[in-house]
Structure 1
Amino acid sequence: MTVTTWLSLLLVCLMGAMFPGASLAVVLRQTLQNSALHGVVTAVSHALGVGVYALLSVLGLGLLLQQSPILTQLISYAGAIYLLWIGVQGLLAKPHSSSAHAGLQTQQTASLWDAARDGFMIALLNPKIGLYFLALFSQFIHVGMGKDAKTLFVLTIIMVDGLWYILVSLVLSRGPLLAWLKQHQLWVERALGLVLILIALRIFLS
C-alpha cells in the first residue's frame, strides 16, 4: 500500500468516524453517566467492533451483507432492539442530588464491562458499517493485496475509529463543558436516550 493510498484510506476513516450517530451518543452517555475511563473503554471496544467488519472485508466475507438482504435486516433489527434498550435506560434516568455530584464518579454501578459491551455491540450490530466498507473501502481492497497491506488496512481503521472516540470522551470529561453537562445531566441523559430510541425506530421503519 503506497503512502498516497494510505492517506486516502485515513481520510475516509476520519469521515466515517466523525459522522454523528448512535456510536457518538453511546460514548457520550458512558462518559457522562460514568467516567472518562468508561468512555475510553467504550471507544476502544467500538473500534474493535468496527475492526471485525474491516477484517471481514479483506477476507471477502463482507459481500455477504450485500448479497443477503435478510441477514442485513436481521442484524439491523438486533441492533435496533439494543438501541431501544439503551435508550429506554436513558429516558428512565433518575435525577442526581446536588450533594452527590462531587462523588458521582465513585458511586456509579456500571462496570467497565458494561461500557465495553455497549461499544462493541453498537458497532457489531450495525450492518450499515459493513455496507459502508463495501461502498467506500472497496477501492483499497484488491485480489493481489498482500498480508501486510491487509493488516495495515484493518489496523488503520481500528486506530482511527478508536482514537477519535477516545478524543471525544476525554474532551467531554473535563473543563467547562463537563460542568455544564453535569449540571444538566438528567436532561442530557434523557435527550441521548430519546436520540437512540429515534434511531432505533428509524431502523424498524426503513
Structure 2
Amino acid sequence: MTAESLLAFCALCLLLELTPGPNTFLVLRHSLHGARTGVVTALGSALGAMVWALAVAVGLAALLERSAQAYQVLKIAGGLYLVHLGVRTFLAHRRTSSPDAAPVRERATSLPGAFRAGLVSCVLNPKVGLFFLAVVPQFVPAGATVGATLLLGAFEAAVALTYLTVLAHVAARFVTWIRRPRVTRTLDRVSAAVLTAFGLGTIAGAR
C-alpha cells in the first residue's frame, strides 16, 4: 500500500464519519455528561470498527454479501438495539422529576455503559460491515495477508476515534449551556426520538 492509497482510504473513512449516524448521536448524548464519557463512547465505536475489520479479514462478513437473510437478521438486531437505547433515554428523561432520578441517570451514563453502547451500536450496524466489504478490498494489494485488512481497519478506527473525540470535546465545551434544565429536557427528547427513528428505519429497511 502506498501513502497515496492510505490517504485516499482515510478520506473515505472521514466521509463515512461525517455522515450522521447512530454513533454520532450516541457520542453527542453521552458528551452531555462530560467529554470523558463521550470519548469512551467513541472508543467503543472504534473497537467495533476493528471487530468488523477482523470479520472481513477472516471472511465472516462475506456472509452479509452472500446471504440476504443474514443481512436482514443483523439489520433487525441493530434496529432493535437502537430502539432500546431510544426508549431507555426517554424513560430516563421521564424519571428526572422523581427523587431517585439522579442515580438512574448516573447508571445510564456510566463509563462501561457508554463504552458498551458505542461498541454494540457499531458492531450491529451492517452499513459499517458493507463499507469494509465494498471499500477495503479495493485498497488491499493482490496477494496481501490478513494483516493488510487489519491495518486498514486500524486506520478506519483511528479516523473514527479522532473525529468522534473532537465531537465529544466540542459538545462538552457547551455543557454549561446544555445542562440548563429546559435545554437538557429538549435534547433528551430529541436524542430519544432520533435513536428510536434510526432503529425503526433500520428495521423497516430490513423487511
The normalised TM-score by structure 2 is: 0.86
Gap runs ≥5 in structure 1: 98-103
2:136·2:149 contact (CA, 8 Å) conserved in 1?
no
Give the AA of the match of 1:2: T
Matched, 1:178 2:175: yes
* Correspondence for 2:126: 127
State the Cα RMSD in Å: 2.0
| Residue pair 1:58, 1:141 contacting (<8 A) in 2 also | no
Whether contact under 8 Å (2:49, 2:153) holds in the other structure is: no
| Structure 2 residue identity aligned to 1:187 | T
**Residue 58 and residue 147 in structure 1: after superposition, are their counterparts in 2 closer, same or farther (change >3 A)?**
closer
Higher mean displacement: 44-53 or 109-118: 109-118
1:46 and 2:45 aligned: yes
Q: Whole-Å Cα distance in 2 between the matches of residues 150 and 30 of structure 1?
A: 31
Read off the aligned partner of 1:186 and give its amino acid letter: R
User: Structure 1 residues 55, 148: CA separation in 2 closer, same or farther (over 3 Å shift)?
Assistant: closer
2:168 matched to which residue of 1?
169
Task: Report Cα offsets for 1:111-160 as digits up to 9, x if no partner.
Answer: 21101110000000111111122222221124411455334212111111
Distance 1:36 1:89, change over 3 A: same
Gaps of 5+ in 2: none
1:29 maps to: 29
Aligned residues: 195
2: CA distance between counterparts of 1:8 and 1:70? 33
1:179 aligned counterpart, secondary structure: helix
> Is 1:188 aligned to residue 179 of structure 2?
no
Q: SS in structure 1 opposite 2:20? A: coil
Partner of residue 108, structure 1? 106
Amino acid corresponding to residue 126 of structure 2 in structure 1: P
Report the AA paired with residue 144 of structure 2. M
1:136 alignment counterpart: 135
Q: Give the direction of change, closer, same or farther, for the CA distance of 1:144–1:87 in structure 2 (3 Å limit).
A: same
Say whether the 8 Å CA contact 1:84–1:196 is kept in structure 2: yes
Residues of 1 paired with 2:196 and 2:124: CA distance?
A: 15
> What is the TM-score when the length of structure 1 is the normalising length?
0.87
> d(CA) in 1 for partners of 2:80 and 2:137?
29
Distance of 2:52 and 2:140 partners within structure 1 = 13
Cα distance in 1, alignment partners of residues 60 and 96 from structure 2? 47
Looking at structure 1, the residues matched to 120 and 147 of structure 2 have their Cα atoms a distance apart, in angstroms, of 28
CA contact (8 A) 1:95 1:186 kept: no
Structure 1 distance, partners of 2:114, 2:59, is 30
